[in-house]
Structures are given as C-alpha cells and as structure tokens.
Amino acid sequence: MMKLPVKTTQPTVEIANAEVITLCNGMKLYILSSDDFEVMRLTLLFRAGSSRQRVPFSASATANLLAEGSQHMTAREISERLDFHGSYFDVNTDRDYSYISFAMLSKFVPQTLQVAEEILLRPTFPEEEVETYRLKRKQRLAIERQKVDVRAREAFASAMFGANHPYGQCFEEEAYDRLTRQDVVDFYHSHYTATNGFAVCSGRVDEKERTAICTLLEQFPVCEELSHKPFPTVEQQYEVRLTHEGAVQSSIRIGRRLFPREHPDFVGMQVVAAALGGYFGSRLMHNLREEHGYTYGVISAMVNFEREGYLAIATQVGSEVTDEALKEIYHEIERLRTEPMDDEELQLVKNIMTGEMMRILDGPFGVADVTIENILCGRTNSIIAENVARIRQTTPQEVQQLAEKYLRREDLITVVVG
C-alpha cells in the first residue's frame, strides 16, 4: 500500500447511555438529551410488525391509518396541525415492529405532542379512509411488483423461511380487498399498549418536554403480555429462478439463514459480510463492477429480525451476464473460505465499519436510531464500544474460519428474477 502523505488516526466511537424512565403503566421512556439542537424527535415502537398479524396487511394498515382521524380531530385537521408547525410524522413497519415517529422544532413541541396524543391514543380508523387506503396500496403494490428487485426480495424471503412462515410470507394484492376496518381496529387495540411498546426521545429534551411526553405515554393502557405464537418450521428452497417479461437486467439474491444479533458470531459475520460486499471496493464490488462492468452495484450485509438473522448478497446485473455474475459471486465467497485475507484488507474493512458507525451516530436522530437497535437486542449503548472493540480484534484466521463454517456452497440460497 502507498504511503499516505498525511497521518490517519483511529477514532473512538461511543455514545452516552440513555436515561430510562419507567412510567406508572410500565412503559419505558428512553431519553437522549442534547442542548445543541433546536429540534426533538419522539419515536414509539410497538411489537406490531407483520409477523404479529392474523389478517394480511393489517399490521401495516394499522400503522399507516393512525393519523387518518381521531376522536377529536379529522384526518384533515391532523395533517393541517402537523404541517402548520412544520412537524414530521412518519410510520414504518417491518416484520417484527411498528415505528411511529414525530420530529418537530423545539418551539412547537406542545402543539405537536397534542396531535401526537390524538394519533397514538384516540385513532378512529374511519371506514372511508380505510377504503381509500386499500385502493391506493393495492395499486402501489402492483407497481412495485413490476420491479425485478422487489420480486427477488419477496422470493428470497420465502425461499429462506418458507411461504407460510411469518418471516417469509408475501400476500397477493387482492388480499387488500378483504381487509376490513374491524381488522385494523382489533389489531390496534391488542398491540398498541403500554405492555407492548416503548419510546425513545432525542434532541432538546428539557423538563417541560419530559413532563409532556410522560403525560402522553402514561395514557397507554396496560394489557396482558401477548403470547408468542410459535413460528412454523422453516422450509427452505435452495434454487429459485423466476422470469420477468421485458427485463433487461436480472436481480440476484444469494444468502443463507444464520442467527439473530445476540449470537456470539454475529459481529464476526458482519465483518465477513462487509469484506464481501459492504463497501465501495469490496471484493464483490471490485469483481462485478470495477473489473467486469456487470452491474451498477452489489451489496452484502447481515440482516436481523427479532428471532432470526441471515446473510444476504443483492445485485442487479445485465441479463446477458447473469450466469457469469453468479459464477463470480460464488467464486468470491469460496475465496474467503479458502484463503486468509491479508492484514491490510482486513484493517481497511475494520476502519470502514467504525467510520460507518460514526456517521450513523452523527446528529440527534441517528443516536436515537442506534439506541433503538440496542434496546431491541436487550443492550445499553455501551454495546457500541464493545462491538467496535470486537471488530478491531478480528483476525484474518477468524474471518476465514467463519466463512468456512457458515458459507458452504451447499448451504447457500440463490434467487434470480429476470
């Protein structure tokens, strides 16, 4: 490697632990206060992701319809009040959780929280709003499924866990026709409770903000702990090829089921995934893009759910070079298994991973996002420094051993759509 004309240093990466308040209904509020900003964000999480639903699309519909009318405000009034104060309301659902966020200027905290209270605690899910939502979403999903990438993502989930597994399931667009208002109301009442969620607040959080947030959260009802429905047995399919009419590119997903974040090898496998396709210049990026020009981009990463985790490689390549690209991906995986990585490359990967963590932590909202991830793993923010230390200790031998153990060709799932 060339000698750098300037010195580079290894940064320290750590953030303070959140202050935790347990409210009278048992709900926890995590506070990350910083006076450097004139903004605040409040995020609530509920165990209300799609793996919890009995009726297709009811989990995402519940989250997306929260702001479409409440006991004291119409959908229109809610959006007017939020927009007037320049506040952002955002919802997201994944397989395990729903995330409800409010971002606001410090000077408009009381006004925004007033609307938040209506959205979170008193939604009415009006029939006509449910109807509009069904129509829009059905059309949107149909459009999404015209993309090779979306189809590959869905096929990959179902190849990895099985078509009837909550982590692998995908539903027909027509399932929207059968979704009723009552499904949404039921899901809301059973899942949006103090027992089933927590909140994280960051930015400027002074005494009066703190009091207002606590007052809001304390109104969530207590309910019985929801029972964990046991998941069905995982059923895997190792090779899936789907055709997509008119496609000029193929979408490729390769990966394998591994373990959730608590597993002792999770961080080690993050290093392996990063070396393979976690950065610009990674082995796959170098091979597929820089050397062969097969693709605009390729990534690999460890993905984690609450009860599962897997490694995934994703790319879109020219249709005419699909087989060549597959061959090169397998080749790069095999190379990790058979040759130890040189120290310099591993050092590079480690520095990239630490830098990435610093960037995510830049700004008050990023700090909150990382804190949420840590809470979901049952850890405090001191895990960050531990993980960084763990990454820095990784040796080339360890990377090879992990790849050898976990990335055998016969264990890999391959999905191609194009």
Partner 1 sequence: MIPYKKRILKNGLTVVVNRDHTSKLSAVNLLYKVGARNEDPNRTGFAHLFEHLMFRGTRDVPFFDLPVQMASGEDNAFTNNDYTNFYLTLPVDNLETALWLESDRMQGLWITPEKLETEKRVVIEEFRQRYLNQPYGDQTMLLRELAYTTHPYRWATIGRSTDHIEGATLEEVEHFYRTFYRPSNAVLALSADRDEEALLDLAEQWFGHLNDTPICHQSIPQEPRQEQARLKIVERDVPATTISIAYHMGDRLSKDFCTGDLVSDLLSGGDSSRLYQHLVKEQRLFASVNAYISGDVDPGLFILTGQLLPTTSEEQAIEAFEREIEALKHEQPSAYELEKVKNKFEANTLFGELNVMNKAMNLCYYEFLGDLALVNREIDEYRSIDADRIFEFADRIFRTENSSTLIYRAR
Please pick, from the candidates 17, 26, 80, 177, the single residue that binds partner 1 as defined by CB under 8 A: 80
CA atoms within 13 A on the CB side of 246: 2
247 is an interface residue for partner 1 by CB under 8 A: yes
Tell me which residue of 357, 349, 413 sits closest to 386, measured CA to CA: 357
Tell me which residue of 207, 187, 183, 185 sits closest to 196, measured CA to CA: 187
Please pick, from the candidates 16, 20, 163, 248, the single residue that binds partner 1 as defined by CB under 8 A: 248
132 is an interface residue for partner 1 by CB under 8 A: yes
Q: In what order do the strands lie in the sheet with 309-318?
A: 239-242, 413-417, 249-257, 309-318, 295-304
Determine the Cα–Cα distance for residues 226 and 381; give it in Å rounded to an integer. Answer: 27
Please pick, from the candidates 16, 17, 19, 38, the single residue that binds partner 1 as defined by CB under 8 A: 38
> Interface with partner 1 by CB under 8 A: which range of 77-85, 187-195, 234-242, 254-262?
77-85
> Interface with partner 1 by CB under 8 A: which range of 101-109, 216-224, 263-271, 397-405?
101-109
- Give the nearest distance from C-beta 384 to partner 1 in angstroms: 13
Contact (CB, 8 A) for 10 and 362: no
- Give the nearest distance from C-beta 181 to partner 1 in angstroms: 17
> Residue 30 has which token pair?
């995590």
> Interface with partner 1 by CB under 8 A: which range of 21-29, 142-150, 221-229, 261-269?
142-150
Q: In what order do the strands lie in the sheet with 88-93?
A: 19-22, 28-33, 197-203, 39-46, 98-105, 88-93
Burial environment of residue 145 by CB neighbours within 10 A (0 to 12, 13 to 18, 19 or more): middle
317 is an interface residue for partner 1 by CB under 8 A: yes
Please pick, from the candidates 171, 363, 377, 396, the single residue that binds partner 1 as defined by CB under 8 A: 363
Using CA of residue 170, residue 375, residue 203, residue 41, what is the dihedral sign? positive
Look at the chain and count its residues.
Answer: 418
> Interface with partner 1 by CB under 8 A: which range of 9-17, 151-159, 164-172, 254-262?
9-17
> Interface with partner 1 by CB under 8 A: which range of 8-16, 50-58, 261-269, 332-340?
8-16
Using CB under 8 A, list all residues that contact partner 1: 1-2, 4-6, 8-11, 34, 36-39, 67, 75-76, 79-80, 82-88, 103-105, 132, 135-136, 139-140, 142-143, 146-148, 246-249, 279-281, 289-296, 316-318, 347-348, 351-352, 354-356, 358-359, 362-365
